[in-house]
Amino acid sequence: MRVSSPIGELPFEPVSLHYRNKTLVMEGSMGAWPARVVIEPADIPSVLRLVAKPAAIAAGVAAAASVLVLIRRNH
């Protein structure tokens, strides 16, 4: 992963992912510095909005592929 910042692009190397005190915490390093990403319950709606469109597209593609498979099996 990469993080863009005012000092340039830095690699982010995740080391651990855990659930602590009702938050999802990913710890790792960003360049030479330790870094932590914390996702709290209040962040969930915005994260869901980010993944909703790609998830809907993937579901649509999977449904269309399933229909095509069923049609081809019946013919």
Task: Write out the DSSP string of the chain.
Answer: -EEEETTEEEEEEEEEEEEETTEEEEEEEETTEEEEEEE-GGGHHHHHHHHHHHHHHHHHHHHHHHHHHHHHHH-
Cα 2 to Cα 34: distance, rounded to the nearest angstrom? 14
pTM: 0.56
The arithmetic mean of pLDDT across residues 18-43, rounded, is: 89
- Closest C-alpha to 25, from 37, 15, 41: 37
What is the per-residue pLDDT for 70? 86
DSSP bridge partners of 33 = 30
